A and B are shown apart, each in its own frame.
Chain A
Amino acid sequence: MERRAFLKIAGGVAAGLGLTGIVTVKPARATPAEMQEAIRAVVGSARITPGKVKLELPPLIENGNAVPLTVTVDSPMTEAEHVRVVHVFTEKNPQPYVVSFHLGPRAGRARVSTRMRLADSQNVVAVCQLSDGSLWSDSAAVVVTLAACLEDGI
């Protein structure tokens, strides 16, 4: 067989097998608008006021697979006045949801830490609901060098 003919057939076979491993298929990412929709879907249509919540994230992170975050809410955490729930959302991860923490007067203080994934440099938003039903939020911008979620599979 001539070299040219062989290459033609080999190329056709490779395409037919669907060897798409080289081309990374990226999932659709959530957008800031989708994040707003997600926030509304979770907390309802009540007014969200910036303040009371403090979302701490490093401004620059090397590895998006484990980004430390701390949410603190200015609340006395008593039976009459406490934080009911804290939600965390992202703009550009495949899904806008990250985590929801359910607290109560027995928490003593409204401070929770965890680690999250970030697929891109983006804004992260924390929304908290107090026992009186009011909603408060804070956001933080993070620059990510190595993104999570979308790296090549196994």
Chain B
Amino acid sequence: MASALINVPARAKRGEIIEIKTLISHVMETGFRRTQVGAVIPRNIIRRFVCSYNGAEVFSADLHPAMSANPFIVFSTIATESGTLAFEWTGDNGFSVKETAAITVE
């Protein structure tokens, strides 16, 4: 299974507001938990999420440890032209995942 799930409508009317749902597999370890012997489990989170529409950034988010594991973000954008939506998650320990979705605007 891909580590990221993205739900973008394949077709949309020009000017229509489309809803985008994204879910990515990640532990989002807070850095506040300890093991049974008291050692702190180091933080490991996604810090940033960016969505670009044909190269132009339309939405972004700065994430903190208080986000749930497997961050799920729902947002919207206006369908302006056919093309690709690019999604990028970056975080601790060099974490980086890129995904794209195609959209046809009529």
Contact = CB atoms under 8 A, between A and B. Distances in A.
Contacts of A107: 58-59, 75-78
Interface of A: 18-21, 24-25, 27, 65-67, 90, 93-95, 97-104, 106-109, 111-118, 148-154
Given A25-B34, A65-B69, 7 more contacts: A21-B37, A66-B68, A114-B68, A114-B71, A149-B30, A149-B33, A150-B33
A99 B67 CA distance: 7
A93 B53 CA distance: 34
Interface residues of B, number: 34
A-B pairs with the 10 shortest C-beta distances? A108-B17, A21-B36, A113-B74, A115-B68, A97-B64, A108-B78, A100-B62, A98-B66, A66-B68, A102-B60
B75 A94 contact: no
Q: Is chain B's binding surface mostly helix, strand, loop or mixed? A: strand
A67 B66 CA distance: 10
B105 interface: no
6 contacts: A90-B66, A106-B58, A106-B80, A108-B78, A113-B72, A113-B73
B97 interface: no
Contacts of A114: 61, 67-68, 71-74
B2 interface: no
B38 interface: yes
Contact of A117 (B35, B37, B66, B75): B66
Contacts of B71: 114-115
Contact of B61 (A18, A97, A99, A104): A99
Interface of B: 17-18, 30, 32-38, 41, 53, 56, 58-69, 71-78, 80
A99 B68 CA distance: 11
Given A107-B59, A151-B33, A20 B66 contact: no
B80 to A, nearest CB: 8
Nearest to A97: B64
A122 to B, nearest CB: 11
A151 B56 CA distance: 41
Contact of B66 (A19, A97, A108, A152): A97
Contacts of B36: 21, 152-154
B76 A108 contact: yes
B34 A106 contact: no
Contacts of B72: 113-115
Contacts of A98: 64, 66-67
